[in-house]
Structure 1
């Protein structure tokens, strides 16, 4: 099989021919049909974060494909079934976090495309209990971005506690943001979309955003405050100044939900204002298996649209460069 491999941090990925992986106990093998390119893949390939993957490895945590081999102990999954393989490759299932519905906080978790090989390959392995069945009728190229971009923003809207008639700012309209706009609208919110490119702001309008804020020329916080301030801001732009602007645009009692992970990023919070305004600053990391099942249910019901473009796996380095230049409107989906 062919796979895109990180051999060394900061260097181009290498397309390699590798033997087909063999599933171990509790594992399945899938023939990958589509694999979304997430900014996390780029951070992984560059070794940007404090906890680093160990090269060589295959990135990709939005893999969708057909099960073509079963390891022992994989009841509930069938050959020929279409499944998605998310960031949460496996959790222990017995710690406090797992038992309380927060398996994404498990300290023993294994992350797809980071601590184990991921989906930027023709075939990949997954743990059967964490592979998510894809409902019939969902195109695998649409299911791929939903597997991370979808479930991550869906969870962020949940964590924000968004309610009807609230003002929600979505900062950064792209692979994640275009879905966050839709989930906030499904929750009944008035949505303010913040970005720095015309095409992404136009996409946000097309997907239901009520207010467009061009951060190149508008004072983001001032515009939000002119509308009463945001009840919640979902921070998706990989830029520290965007976090600060979203925070400043909150109303009293508002919530800043941090999702994007700029390399080495920090945010300075004014203690006085945070305390007196009753502001909440919350980190939100992907979503659980149940969250992903709900994301697929919403999409199967026609409630969401996935904006993507397909490219061959061989274009992975070119695609990474385009993402870093901001030239991708929403999501690149690689086809092995």
Structure 2
């Protein structure tokens, strides 16, 4: 099952660990006859850009990516081929689908059965252990691609597939109730600005932490009740407690890739609160007082992307307009400049690469 497929394509590739990004216009396209059962080939329309892609390119995580590596894991496109002998495919030729960080899992182990597909020992990771979405054509897996709601813009949908689903799941399991205070460090970034909106959709009172007037205007326009600029604040912990009437917040979803965001969160949370660990600093550790973590009944939960159901729920909210992705479209050749902006904290909202050019 296939449509017309070219022999070569344009991709952004990191040839070796920590290496520079190269744009190649003659990279081979996998043909339908070479697809394995359960695989599909997707003609890409758009790919978001995530901090994880930067970590993979820099090779600064304890986990190591394959090389040469085509990065990217927030892709939207149309299925143009499906491998022979693929039984009971949940998607069909011509369908518009999304590719997430979790490209595939066994769906049969304990983690998969309990909805933790992302923790499967046999998980394949887009743009990390398998080639990702910074390409015109991508091989993915019919069991894990996500149907995109009809009428939902592909550029907006791309960012929901990682940034959106990641913060959606973290907030979903943050043990908060309507009217609770939730703190979002990194609120003006790609994950953070979506977290503000998913939190508001659940009736939570958002305290946004970030820096810069542009990010301040963005998060306030999205419904953040309190803004704290971490470069201007003399005492972030005191500022959070003041905003919550002195008690502290019920939860924090730390989206920033800074260890300081975690340390501060443990100090401004109230008794019985939950710290949702989302952002991934490469080598940092989380230091918490065991005595006060126990004494104050603080929960610390690592929240790693999301499963297939989380993705559908996050997309559905965005497709209905409850959550809006603020993004800028760029050409794939601007990937290196985009990484530089991310490294310097200069990117507000999300960057999406137009792969139709």
2:17 to 5, 9, 26: 9
Contact 1:120–1:313 (CA<8 Å) still a contact in 2? yes
Q: 2:325 aligns with which of 306, 326, 335?
A: 306
1:26-79: per-residue Cα shift (whole Å, max 9, x none)?
A: 011111110001000000011111120121011100011111111120623222
Deviation at 1:312, TM superposition (A): 0.5
Larger displacement relative to structure 2 (229-238 or 194-203) = 194-203
* Contact 1:220–1:246, Cα closer than 8 Å, also in 2: no
- SS of 1:317's partner is helix
- Distance in 1 (alpha carbons) for counterparts of 2:345 and 2:61: 21
State the shift of 1:168 in Å: 0.3
Deviations, residues 140-199 of structure 1 (Å, cap 9, x unaligned): 000000000000000000121221010000110210000000111111111100012221
Alpha-carbon deviations, 1:183-242, whole Å to 9, x = none? 111111111000122211221100000011111122221112222211000001111111
Q: SS where residue 57 of structure 2 aligns?
A: helix
Deviation, structure 1 residue 107: 1.5
Partner of 1:18: 27
Counterpart-to-counterpart distance in 2, 1:201 and 1:233: 18
The alignment partner of 1:233 has SS state of: strand
Matched, 1:220 2:220: no
- Two-structure CA RMSD over aligned residues (Å): 1.1
Q: Does 1:98 align with 2:112?
A: yes
Kindly state the Cα deviation for residue 81 of structure 1 after the two structures are TM-superposed: 1.1
Would the aligned equivalents of 1:89 and 1:112 in 2 still touch at CA under 8 Å? yes
Please point out which of 43, 52, 68 is paired with 2:55: 43
Give 2:298's aligned residue. 279
1:162·1:184 contact (CA, 8 Å) conserved in 2? no
Moved more, 114-123 or 155-164: 155-164
Is 2:76–2:158's contact at 8 Å kept on the other side of the alignment? yes
Mapping for residues 56-205 of structure 1, pairs under 5 Å: 56-72=68-84, 73=86, 75-173=89-187, 174-205=189-220
> Shift of residue 334 of structure 1?
1.0
Contact between 1:310 and 1:333, CA under 8 Å: does it hold in 2? yes
Distance 1:236 1:123 in 2: 30
For residues 24 and 314 of structure 1, what CA distance do their matches in structure 2 show?
Answer: 31
> Which of 30, 44, 50 matches 2:42?
30
Counterpart secondary structure, 2:143? helix
Contact 1:235 1:257 (C-alpha < 8 Å) held by counterparts: yes
CA–CA separation in structure 2 for the residues paired with 1:12 and 1:321: 12
Question: TM-score, normalised to structure 1's length?
Answer: 0.98
Pairing of 1:284-295 with structure 2 (within 5 A): 284-295=303-314
**Which residue number in structure 2 is paired with residue 332 of structure 1?**
351
Is the CA contact (8 Å cut-off) linking 2:144 and 2:308 kept in structure 1? yes
In structure 1, what is the Cα distance between the partners aligned to 2:125 and 2:111?
16
Q: Point out 4+ residue stretches in structure 1 off by more than 3 angstroms.
A: none
The aligned counterpart of 1:322 is 341
Confirm or deny: 8 A CA contact 1:36 1:334 kept in the other structure.
yes
For residues 237-291 of structure 1, the C-alpha deviation after alignment (integer angstroms, 9 at most, x for no partner) is 1111111112211001111111001110112111121111111111000011000
CA contact (8 A) 2:66 2:130 kept: no
